[in-house]
Structure 1
Amino acid sequence: MSSSPSFCAIDFGTSNSAVAIPGPESGARAMRLVELEPGHKTMPTAVFYYAEGRHDADGPPRAFGRAAVAAYVDGIDGRLMRSMKSILGSGLIDQTTDVGGGRGAKYSDILSGYLKRLRNRALADGATGALNKLVLGRPVFFVDGEPERDAAAQSSLEAAAHAVGFDEVHFQFEPIAAAFDYESQIDRERIVLVADIGGGTSDFSVVRVGPDRMQRLDRRDDILANHGVHIAGTDFDRHIELASILREFGYRSLGPVRPDGSAREVPSGVYFDLATWHLINTVYSPGRVAELRSMRSFYADVQQHQRLMTVVEERLGHELAARAEGAKIEVSGGGDALIDLGLIENGLEVRLSEATAVASLDADIGRIVAAGRDTVAQAGLKPEQIDALYFTGGSTGLRLLAERIAADYPAAQQVRGDRFASVATGLGLHAARLFAH
């Protein structure tokens, strides 16, 4: 390797992104992850465009990553852009969208602006040279069943990388990258089911890995099947919040008893919105607040209505969602979680039992497990032919989920990668093999 290696690898994820650059040591494994934000080696794939503020040499006023999410949660005037990866392969890529304050931005520029942020963070964290060579991760299919749109998606991502200073761009499949670390530890060829369970999707891939295949740069033939469902961590959080926290605010509660002895259930729309991250801010509109305030007579327990209005009027919806996510993580290893809601009402707390969590997540977990079985079947294999399960993605930390997946493959070795950065690490290994000479 030269004294000034000038390459990096980027995992441009739907929910989070990460960057790997060469470390001080030489060799293919001498890669390290960039600190993209203070104390964090992954960064939410998010950009917030402020409605106010002047353009500078770098473009319109924006925030990235956690700062972008915080600006949105705080209700600052502007527009939050997330899931940018989903526009690849669509006709939106060359269109302009309103980002607030009378400003417009092309989706392609939004994408390249985020990649530029990642590149600049790599340079600030010690990347040397021109930093003009790149390995980018890509899903097996950007667009299912449409090869032309899939090729267009990769082309758009490559163009965005070129636009921010990368002259040489290579791609590697994300499930193969995730399995690279495992591949380097085995002494024979194996068939691996990669379970990548993130925030928005649960993706499965059956891949072939082995010491004789490690140096092959084109690994497409090693992906035997790929399948997924749009169910993952954010769905779990929503179900947990509905099953525990929002019960204290009137969800599934009854109104006053009517003359015929019956009672109607309190309207549930506001609770579904409060439990859905990107819809929470819609509850704070003046018209919606006035409507909810007028519904006090719908509640048999007016204290529940009072708590709901505290959440809405003080804009605490995202804080409740965060506490639901924390409770999910706490019960994921077994046992109960005590959720402190003292910010709403002194002494208010909710106990989430593992049994309640299991019941609320059962249907979603069942669909994810079935997607894994379908992937193996699409590869023309039986469960007993899977040699190893490789778990990656933030939601694989949920013990209930991992155990249910593993139960279908009792003979398979269970391997856990870095839940948040195994793809970036694998892409870094691939970049070193390509460029480190």
Structure 2
Amino acid sequence: MAGAADISALGLDFGTTNTVVARADGGDGEARLIEFAGDEATGAVFRSALCFWEDERGWNGVAHEAGPWAIAEYLDAPLDSRFVQSFKTVAASPLFERAMIFNKPFRFEDFGRLLLQKLVRHAGGQLDDRPRRVVVGRPVEYAGARPDPALARERYDLMLREFGAEVHYVYEPLGAAHSFATRLTEPATILVADFGGGTTDFSLVRVAEPGAARRCVPLASGGVGIAGDRFDQRIVTQLVLPMLGKGGRYRSFGKVLEIPGGYFTDVADWSRLALMRNRKTLEELRKLQRDALDPAAIGRMIALIEHEQGFPLYDAVGKLKRALSGADHAPFTFDGGGVRIEAEVARADFERWIADDLARIETALDTALARAGVAAEAIDRVFLTGGSSLIPAIRALFFRRFGEDRIATGGELTSIAHGLALIGAEPDITPWEA
């Protein structure tokens, strides 16, 4: 078996919202983040988003960009492009087969492959020399109803087949645990809580003293398909959907019926909203508008879809969440596609909207502790990572369970990739594989 000094590895944190890559070369126990180059670059964070537009020189007659460059392309010509984000949430869904973009079919693995192609190009040569190993983070529990992990693995394999000769999968919070262990100077039992866009995952790890032959030993993991995107959906449901006809009625064969909820579910889901701009869906909505008791509300939904307002809506929701992380009240402002909303939102209201989600997250935490056979009192340190870990209600949950003095944070968007690269540089990666 090759020694650590012979191994180079990439850690790939392909996230619902952001993708981050780190690289470890040799056995020095160090990993560095890949920083992206160019005017639109945002350091080591590459948005997990794609923008498509028609161009005969592009793949299958459609050109594309990814990451922050996808956002720039969309903002330059929103009506002539298609913006796709949060597509990781359908990785394990047997209901998702393909999406039609400009009448061309795209599978999940097509989206992923195109994202990675652009990521490599924008890395400015840092990824041209492919390492021997690629260690990919995967959630403990996938998002969606009745997710199929085997299907997700198959799609990931197809997405990554051109990216590295030796691909390994590791639970995302285990990557974060390995990164956090580099900060510790004495043995500890740690809990890592990773709050991403699509899932919340937990891992418990026993960390030995620095210099030990095996520094980290995984104990157990658990998770739930609830995280930042679900919180976004709660905001959209409360502030936006009532203006689009949610709870309204329509006439059908002499009866007055409630408008089907599927349309509103799709509008509130970033992975589905962009895909609603297709002929079949828009024709259904126009028919519904003719029969609706409040046709103007359905008209606003149609306009929002036709004018590609998914990204501006997502941006407005994100700004509200970030503002409520630092204030008791914050304004929500959205103006696009014929829909204008201005509202003052209290943090207490937002926390009430996500209360059921927080309860399910706490249940998943209890399950992970039970699997490890470790009581909360025996946890030495708790490492919170992922963008949604900044939400005060999330932090309050862990302060209550473990005490503020045991909570550690930092590297919320980069710790997973950093740790995955460190795992990949170990001679034997088997104990970490999912």
Q: Cα deviation per residue 1:345-399 (whole Å; 9 max; x = unaligned)?
A: 8995211111211111111111111111111011112111111111111111111
The amino acid that maps onto 1:31 is: R
Contact 2:192 2:202 in 1 (8 A): yes
Identity %: 23
Which residues of structure 1 form unaligned runs of 5+?
Answer: 256-262
Report the counterpart of residue 287 of structure 1 in structure 2.
Answer: 283
Mapped pair 1:234 → 2:229: yes
Q: Which has the larger displacement, 341-350 or 171-180?
A: 341-350
Contact 1:372 1:405 in 2 (8 A): no
The amino acid that maps onto 2:19 is: S
Q: CA deviation at 1:424?
A: 1.3
The amino acid that maps onto 2:162 is: A
Q: Cα deviation per residue 1:78-101 (whole Å; 9 max; x = unaligned)?
A: 7958645965899x9xxx967656
1:9-158 aligned within 5 A? 9-21=11-23, 27-29=28-30, 31-35=32-36, 38-47=41-50, 52-55=55-58, 61-68=63-70, 74=78, 76=80, 80=84, 83=87, 87=91, 111-122=112-123, 124=124, 126=126, 130-139=129-138
Closer, same or farther in 2 for the Cα pair 1:85/1:208, shift >3 Å?
farther
Report the counterpart of residue 410 of structure 2 in structure 1.
Answer: 417
Mapped pair 1:203 → 2:201: yes
Q: TM-score, normalised by structure 1?
A: 0.73
What RMSD in Å do the two structures reach over aligned CA positions? 4.7
The amino acid that maps onto 1:63 is: E
SS of 2:403's equivalent? coil
Which residues of structure 2 form unaligned runs of 5+?
Answer: 1-6, 251-255, 428-434
The amino acid that maps onto 1:417 is: G
Report the counterpart of residue 328 of structure 1 in structure 2.
Answer: 321
Q: CA deviation at 1:135?
A: 3.9
Contact 1:32 1:425 in 2 (8 A): yes
> Which residue, 177, 180, 190 being the options, matches 2:178?
180
Q: CA deviation at 1:118?
A: 3.4
Aligned partners of 1:169, 1:318: CA distance in 2, in Å?
32
Contact 1:187 1:210 in 2 (8 A): no
Report the counterpart of residue 277 of structure 1 in structure 2.
Answer: 270
Paired residue total: 406
Contact 2:234 2:354 in 1 (8 A): yes
Closer, same or farther in 2 for the Cα pair 1:380/1:362, shift >3 Å?
same
Closer, same or farther in 2 for the Cα pair 1:244/1:411, shift >3 Å?
closer
The amino acid that maps onto 2:272 is: L
Rg larger in structure: 1
Q: CA deviation at 1:206?
A: 1.1
The amino acid that maps onto 1:29 is: E
Closer, same or farther in 2 for the Cα pair 1:118/1:131, shift >3 Å?
same
Closer, same or farther in 2 for the Cα pair 1:133/1:155, shift >3 Å?
farther
Report the counterpart of residue 378 of structure 2 in structure 1.
Answer: 385
Contact 1:195 1:203 in 2 (8 A): yes
Contact 1:238 1:276 in 2 (8 A): yes
Q: Which has the larger displacement, 344-353 or 239-248?
A: 344-353
Mapped pair 1:352 → 2:345: yes
SS of 2:235's equivalent? helix
Q: Cα deviation per residue 1:151-185 (whole Å; 9 max; x = unaligned)?
A: 99779867865634x45656655323212343123
Closer, same or farther in 2 for the Cα pair 1:60/1:155, shift >3 Å?
same
Q: Which has the larger displacement, 401-410 or 309-318?
A: 309-318
Q: Cα deviation per residue 1:257-288 (whole Å; 9 max; x = unaligned)?
A: xxxxxx99887655443322233342774424
Report the counterpart of residue 427 of structure 1 in structure 2.
Answer: 420
Closer, same or farther in 2 for the Cα pair 1:298/1:361, shift >3 Å?
same
Contact 1:79 1:99 in 2 (8 A): no
Report the counterpart of residue 361 of structure 1 in structure 2.
Answer: 354
SS of 2:354's equivalent? helix
SS of 2:214's equivalent? coil
Q: Cα deviation per residue 1:166-209 (whole Å; 9 max; x = unaligned)?
A: 45656655323212343123232211111111111111111112
Report the counterpart of residue 225 of structure 1 in structure 2.
Answer: 220
Closer, same or farther in 2 for the Cα pair 1:318/1:102, shift >3 Å?
closer
Q: CA deviation at 1:55?
A: 4.9
Q: CA deviation at 1:233?
A: 0.6
The amino acid that maps onto 1:386 is: I
Closer, same or farther in 2 for the Cα pair 1:283/1:104, shift >3 Å?
closer
SS of 1:54's equivalent? strand
Report the counterpart of residue 389 of structure 2 in structure 1.
Answer: 396
Judging by fraction of residues, say which structure has more strand: 2
The amino acid that maps onto 2:286 is: A
Contact 2:193 2:202 in 1 (8 A): yes
The amino acid that maps onto 1:203 is: D
Q: Cα deviation per residue 1:55-95 (whole Å; 9 max; x = unaligned)?
A: 57x997333234557659946577958645965899x9xxx
The amino acid that maps onto 2:190 is: V
Q: CA deviation at 1:430?
A: 4.3
Report the counterpart of residue 371 of structure 1 in structure 2.
Answer: 364
Closer, same or farther in 2 for the Cα pair 1:188/1:67, shift >3 Å?
same
Q: CA deviation at 1:341?
A: 3.7
Q: TM-score, normalised by structure 2?
A: 0.73
Mapped pair 1:190 → 2:185: no
